[in-house]
Amino acid sequence: MIDVTALRALRSVASHGTLARSAEDLGFTASAVSQQIKRLERQLGAEVLAAAGRGVVLTPAGQAVVDSSPDVFQALERCLEAARSVAEGTPSGVIRVAAFSTAIRGLIGPVLPALTRSCPELSVRVLEQDPDQALQSLDSGTADLAIVHDADGLPVTAPDSMTRELVHSDLGDVIMPEDHRLATLGRPLTSEDFTECTWVTSPPGTVCHQWFWRVFAGSAVTPDVHHLVDDFASQMALVDGGGVIALMPRLARPPLRDGLVSVPLLRPPQREVHAVWRRSADASPAIRAVRTQLVSDT
Protein backbone atom coordinates (compact mmCIF):
# COMPACT_ATOMS: atom_id res chain seq x y z
CA MET A 1 0.00 0.00 0.00
CA ILE A 2 1.37 3.42 -0.95
CA ASP A 3 1.87 5.84 1.96
CA VAL A 4 -0.30 8.92 1.36
CA THR A 5 2.07 11.29 3.19
CA ALA A 6 4.96 10.08 1.06
CA LEU A 7 2.88 10.49 -2.09
CA ARG A 8 2.04 14.07 -1.09
CA ALA A 9 5.76 14.72 -0.53
CA LEU A 10 6.59 13.50 -4.03
CA ARG A 11 3.96 15.79 -5.56
CA SER A 12 5.42 18.73 -3.67
CA VAL A 13 8.98 17.91 -4.75
CA ALA A 14 7.78 17.62 -8.35
CA SER A 15 6.19 21.07 -8.07
CA HIS A 16 9.09 22.85 -6.37
CA GLY A 17 12.10 21.05 -7.85
CA THR A 18 14.09 20.71 -4.62
CA LEU A 19 13.71 18.88 -1.33
CA ALA A 20 14.38 22.10 0.61
CA ARG A 21 11.57 24.07 -1.04
CA SER A 22 9.23 21.12 -0.72
CA ALA A 23 10.05 20.86 2.99
CA GLU A 24 9.22 24.53 3.43
CA ASP A 25 5.92 24.05 1.60
CA LEU A 26 4.92 21.00 3.66
CA GLY A 27 6.22 22.20 7.03
CA PHE A 28 8.76 19.37 7.38
CA THR A 29 12.53 19.25 7.39
CA ALA A 30 14.36 18.37 4.17
CA SER A 31 15.56 15.20 5.88
CA ALA A 32 11.98 14.18 6.68
CA VAL A 33 10.91 14.74 3.07
CA SER A 34 13.88 12.67 1.87
CA GLN A 35 12.86 9.81 4.18
CA GLN A 36 9.29 9.95 2.88
CA ILE A 37 10.53 9.74 -0.71
CA LYS A 38 12.75 6.76 0.14
CA ARG A 39 9.81 5.03 1.84
CA LEU A 40 7.72 5.57 -1.29
CA GLU A 41 10.49 4.13 -3.46
CA ARG A 42 10.63 1.01 -1.28
CA GLN A 43 6.85 0.61 -1.57
CA LEU A 44 6.95 1.02 -5.35
CA GLY A 45 10.15 -0.93 -5.95
CA ALA A 46 11.42 1.86 -8.22
CA GLU A 47 13.29 5.16 -7.94
CA VAL A 48 11.09 8.22 -8.34
CA LEU A 49 13.68 11.04 -8.24
CA ALA A 50 17.03 11.68 -9.90
CA ALA A 51 19.59 14.40 -9.16
CA ALA A 52 19.69 17.33 -11.61
CA GLY A 53 22.18 20.08 -10.78
CA ARG A 54 21.20 21.54 -7.43
CA GLY A 55 17.73 20.11 -7.65
CA VAL A 56 15.94 16.91 -8.58
CA VAL A 57 13.74 15.69 -11.42
CA LEU A 58 11.20 12.92 -11.66
CA THR A 59 12.17 9.59 -13.12
CA PRO A 60 9.68 8.04 -15.59
CA ALA A 61 8.28 5.98 -12.70
CA GLY A 62 8.04 9.08 -10.53
CA GLN A 63 6.26 11.00 -13.29
CA ALA A 64 3.76 8.17 -13.69
CA VAL A 65 3.04 8.23 -9.96
CA VAL A 66 2.60 12.02 -9.88
CA ASP A 67 0.34 11.94 -12.94
CA SER A 68 -1.92 9.39 -11.23
CA SER A 69 -1.89 11.02 -7.78
CA PRO A 70 -4.71 13.59 -8.26
CA ASP A 71 -7.25 10.78 -8.58
CA VAL A 72 -5.96 9.26 -5.34
CA PHE A 73 -6.23 12.46 -3.33
CA GLN A 74 -9.58 13.41 -4.78
CA ALA A 75 -11.02 10.01 -3.88
CA LEU A 76 -9.66 10.26 -0.33
CA GLU A 77 -11.00 13.78 0.05
CA ARG A 78 -14.45 12.77 -1.21
CA CYS A 79 -14.54 9.98 1.39
CA LEU A 80 -13.50 12.36 4.16
CA GLU A 81 -15.91 15.13 3.25
CA ALA A 82 -18.82 12.73 2.73
CA ALA A 83 -18.27 11.41 6.24
CA ARG A 84 -17.99 14.91 7.68
CA SER A 85 -21.11 16.16 5.93
CA VAL A 86 -23.12 13.36 7.53
CA ALA A 87 -21.46 13.29 10.93
CA GLU A 88 -21.14 16.99 11.70
CA GLY A 89 -24.07 19.15 12.69
CA THR A 90 -21.88 22.25 12.26
CA PRO A 91 -18.50 22.76 10.56
CA SER A 92 -15.55 21.93 12.79
CA GLY A 93 -11.82 21.38 12.71
CA VAL A 94 -9.30 23.50 10.82
CA ILE A 95 -9.68 25.13 7.40
CA ARG A 96 -6.55 26.54 5.76
CA VAL A 97 -7.20 29.59 3.57
CA ALA A 98 -4.55 30.97 1.19
CA ALA A 99 -5.30 34.54 0.08
CA PHE A 100 -3.66 37.68 -1.28
CA SER A 101 -3.00 40.48 1.21
CA THR A 102 -5.86 42.85 0.39
CA ALA A 103 -8.40 40.00 0.44
CA ILE A 104 -7.19 39.14 3.94
CA ARG A 105 -7.67 42.75 5.03
CA GLY A 106 -10.87 43.53 3.18
CA LEU A 107 -12.73 40.19 2.99
CA ILE A 108 -11.49 37.51 5.36
CA GLY A 109 -10.76 39.67 8.40
CA PRO A 110 -14.21 41.33 8.44
CA VAL A 111 -16.11 37.99 8.24
CA LEU A 112 -14.17 36.17 10.97
CA PRO A 113 -16.33 37.43 13.89
CA ALA A 114 -19.57 36.28 12.24
CA LEU A 115 -17.96 33.00 11.20
CA THR A 116 -16.80 32.39 14.76
CA ARG A 117 -20.32 33.02 16.07
CA SER A 118 -21.98 30.72 13.53
CA CYS A 119 -19.28 28.00 13.56
CA PRO A 120 -17.61 28.08 16.99
CA GLU A 121 -15.90 24.73 16.44
CA LEU A 122 -14.25 25.83 13.18
CA SER A 123 -10.72 27.26 13.26
CA VAL A 124 -9.60 29.35 10.27
CA ARG A 125 -5.86 29.47 9.49
CA VAL A 126 -4.84 32.16 6.98
CA LEU A 127 -1.73 32.12 4.78
CA GLU A 128 -0.84 35.18 2.68
CA GLN A 129 0.01 34.14 -0.87
CA ASP A 130 -0.33 35.61 -4.36
CA PRO A 131 -2.98 33.90 -6.53
CA ASP A 132 -0.57 31.59 -8.38
CA GLN A 133 1.02 30.48 -5.10
CA ALA A 134 -2.40 29.99 -3.50
CA LEU A 135 -3.50 27.71 -6.34
CA GLN A 136 -0.30 25.70 -6.01
CA SER A 137 -0.96 25.28 -2.28
CA LEU A 138 -4.50 24.20 -3.04
CA ASP A 139 -3.29 21.68 -5.61
CA SER A 140 -0.62 20.27 -3.29
CA GLY A 141 -3.09 19.92 -0.41
CA THR A 142 -1.41 22.46 1.90
CA ALA A 143 -4.46 24.76 1.59
CA ASP A 144 -8.18 23.95 1.59
CA LEU A 145 -9.49 27.18 0.07
CA ALA A 146 -7.80 29.83 -2.09
CA ILE A 147 -8.93 33.43 -2.54
CA VAL A 148 -7.65 34.73 -5.88
CA HIS A 149 -8.30 37.73 -8.09
CA ASP A 150 -9.07 37.90 -11.78
CA ALA A 151 -7.51 41.26 -12.64
CA ASP A 152 -9.15 43.34 -15.36
CA GLY A 153 -9.11 40.78 -18.15
CA LEU A 154 -6.08 38.85 -16.89
CA PRO A 155 -7.71 35.75 -15.40
CA VAL A 156 -5.97 33.34 -13.06
CA THR A 157 -6.50 29.93 -14.60
CA ALA A 158 -7.29 26.98 -12.35
CA PRO A 159 -7.05 23.31 -13.36
CA ASP A 160 -10.15 21.24 -14.08
CA SER A 161 -9.78 19.58 -10.67
CA MET A 162 -10.83 22.88 -9.04
CA THR A 163 -13.96 24.98 -9.06
CA ARG A 164 -14.50 28.63 -8.22
CA GLU A 165 -17.17 31.03 -6.98
CA LEU A 166 -17.32 34.80 -7.36
CA VAL A 167 -17.26 36.40 -3.90
CA HIS A 168 -16.45 40.04 -4.63
CA SER A 169 -16.05 42.60 -7.44
CA ASP A 170 -13.45 45.28 -6.74
CA LEU A 171 -13.14 48.71 -8.41
CA GLY A 172 -10.48 51.42 -8.37
CA ASP A 173 -11.10 55.04 -7.31
CA VAL A 174 -8.88 58.13 -7.19
CA ILE A 175 -7.89 59.43 -3.75
CA MET A 176 -7.21 63.16 -3.48
CA PRO A 177 -7.46 66.10 -1.06
CA GLU A 178 -11.01 67.35 -0.65
CA ASP A 179 -10.00 70.80 -1.95
CA HIS A 180 -8.42 69.41 -5.15
CA ARG A 181 -9.89 70.93 -8.32
CA LEU A 182 -11.15 67.50 -9.48
CA ALA A 183 -12.91 66.75 -6.21
CA THR A 184 -15.51 69.43 -6.83
CA LEU A 185 -16.58 68.42 -10.35
CA GLY A 186 -19.40 66.22 -9.06
CA ARG A 187 -19.03 63.55 -11.74
CA PRO A 188 -16.93 60.44 -12.49
CA LEU A 189 -13.53 61.31 -13.89
CA THR A 190 -11.87 60.33 -17.18
CA SER A 191 -8.18 60.19 -18.11
CA GLU A 192 -8.51 63.57 -19.85
CA ASP A 193 -9.30 65.19 -16.50
CA PHE A 194 -5.82 64.40 -15.16
CA THR A 195 -3.75 66.93 -17.10
CA GLU A 196 -1.22 68.64 -14.81
CA CYS A 197 -1.85 66.04 -12.05
CA THR A 198 1.00 64.24 -10.31
CA TRP A 199 0.66 60.70 -8.98
CA VAL A 200 1.83 58.11 -6.51
CA THR A 201 1.23 54.57 -7.75
CA SER A 202 2.26 50.99 -7.10
CA PRO A 203 5.60 49.78 -8.54
CA PRO A 204 5.89 47.97 -11.89
CA GLY A 205 5.04 44.27 -11.70
CA THR A 206 2.04 44.76 -9.42
CA VAL A 207 -1.61 44.42 -10.43
CA CYS A 208 -2.33 47.99 -9.30
CA HIS A 209 0.46 49.33 -11.52
CA GLN A 210 -1.24 47.60 -14.45
CA TRP A 211 -4.57 49.08 -13.33
CA PHE A 212 -3.07 52.56 -13.24
CA TRP A 213 -1.78 52.45 -16.81
CA ARG A 214 -5.03 51.00 -18.14
CA VAL A 215 -6.77 54.20 -17.03
CA PHE A 216 -4.64 56.03 -19.59
CA ALA A 217 -4.78 53.42 -22.39
CA GLY A 218 -5.57 55.23 -25.65
CA SER A 219 -5.49 58.61 -23.92
CA ALA A 220 -3.55 61.67 -25.04
CA VAL A 221 -2.65 62.32 -21.40
CA THR A 222 0.64 60.90 -20.10
CA PRO A 223 0.50 60.67 -16.29
CA ASP A 224 3.24 62.35 -14.28
CA VAL A 225 4.28 59.72 -11.70
CA HIS A 226 6.37 61.13 -8.83
CA HIS A 227 6.37 58.16 -6.40
CA LEU A 228 6.34 54.35 -6.69
CA VAL A 229 5.05 52.90 -3.40
CA ASP A 230 3.46 49.48 -2.85
CA ASP A 231 1.80 50.10 0.52
CA PHE A 232 -1.55 51.88 0.26
CA ALA A 233 -1.36 53.46 3.71
CA SER A 234 1.96 54.99 2.64
CA GLN A 235 0.41 56.16 -0.63
CA MET A 236 -2.37 57.82 1.35
CA ALA A 237 0.19 59.57 3.57
CA LEU A 238 1.82 61.05 0.45
CA VAL A 239 -1.56 62.18 -0.88
CA ASP A 240 -2.29 63.69 2.51
CA GLY A 241 1.05 65.49 2.36
CA GLY A 242 -0.13 67.28 -0.76
CA GLY A 243 0.92 67.44 -4.37
CA VAL A 244 -0.06 63.96 -5.57
CA ILE A 245 -3.16 61.82 -6.07
CA ALA A 246 -3.49 58.00 -6.11
CA LEU A 247 -5.52 55.24 -7.72
CA MET A 248 -6.54 52.65 -5.12
CA PRO A 249 -8.71 49.51 -5.25
CA ARG A 250 -11.58 49.75 -2.80
CA LEU A 251 -10.75 46.39 -1.28
CA ALA A 252 -7.20 47.49 -0.42
CA ARG A 253 -7.92 51.07 0.63
CA PRO A 254 -7.29 52.02 4.26
CA PRO A 255 -9.87 54.28 5.96
CA LEU A 256 -9.74 57.73 4.42
CA ARG A 257 -7.88 60.32 6.44
CA ASP A 258 -9.61 63.57 7.32
CA GLY A 259 -9.38 65.96 4.41
CA LEU A 260 -9.20 63.26 1.73
CA VAL A 261 -11.97 62.03 -0.59
CA SER A 262 -12.50 59.13 -2.96
CA VAL A 263 -13.62 60.11 -6.48
CA PRO A 264 -14.95 57.46 -8.93
CA LEU A 265 -13.79 56.96 -12.51
CA LEU A 266 -16.14 56.76 -15.50
CA ARG A 267 -14.38 53.57 -16.68
CA PRO A 268 -12.77 52.21 -13.52
CA PRO A 269 -10.32 49.31 -13.56
CA GLN A 270 -11.82 46.28 -11.90
CA ARG A 271 -11.05 42.78 -10.73
CA GLU A 272 -13.18 39.84 -9.67
CA VAL A 273 -12.29 37.94 -6.53
CA HIS A 274 -13.02 34.20 -6.49
CA ALA A 275 -12.97 31.50 -3.85
CA VAL A 276 -11.39 28.36 -5.33
CA TRP A 277 -11.45 24.84 -3.91
CA ARG A 278 -10.83 21.27 -5.09
CA ARG A 279 -13.89 19.68 -6.68
CA SER A 280 -13.35 16.66 -4.48
CA ALA A 281 -14.06 18.92 -1.46
CA ASP A 282 -17.46 20.11 -2.70
CA ALA A 283 -19.17 18.45 0.27
CA SER A 284 -16.92 20.11 2.88
CA PRO A 285 -19.04 21.87 5.52
CA ALA A 286 -16.09 24.07 6.47
CA ILE A 287 -15.46 25.31 2.92
CA ARG A 288 -19.17 25.87 2.40
CA ALA A 289 -19.40 27.90 5.62
CA VAL A 290 -16.51 30.20 4.67
CA ARG A 291 -17.79 30.67 1.12
CA THR A 292 -21.30 31.47 2.36
CA GLN A 293 -19.99 34.06 4.79
CA LEU A 294 -17.79 35.72 2.15
CA VAL A 295 -20.65 35.99 -0.33
CA SER A 296 -23.21 37.24 2.21
CA ASP A 297 -20.82 39.95 3.43
CA THR A 298 -20.22 41.49 -0.03
Residues 65, 88: one domain? no
Query: For position 152, what pLDDT does the model report?
Result: 55
Q: Worst-scoring range by mean pLDDT, 130-139, 153-162, 214-223, 232-241? A: 153-162
Residues 261, 276: one domain? no
Cα Dmax for the chain:
75
- Domain of 57, CATH number, reads 1.10.10.10
Cα dist from 207 to 18, 137, 219, whole Å: 29, 21, 20
Residues 43, 190: one domain? no
Among the candidates 71, 95, 122, a domain finishes at 71
In this prediction, residue 49 has a pLDDT band, given cuts at 50, 70 and 90, of confident
> Is 77 contained in some domain?
no
- Range of 202's domain? 170-269
pLDDT tens digits along 71-114: 777 777 777 766 665 555 578 889 999 999 889 989 999 999 99
Residues 142, 231: one domain? no
CA neighbours within 13 Å on the CB side: how many for 23?
13
> Is 104 contained in some domain?
yes
> Is 125 contained in some domain?
yes
pLDDT tens digits along 203-252: 998 878 888 998 998 889 999 999 999 999 999 999 998 889 999 999 88
Residues 288, 158: one domain? yes
Residues 235, 176: one domain? yes
Minimal CA–CA distance to 107: which of 66, 136, 76, 149? Answer: 149
pTM: 0.68
Minimal CA–CA distance to 1: which of 58, 84, 83, 76? Answer: 76
CB 260 within 8 A of CB 236: yes
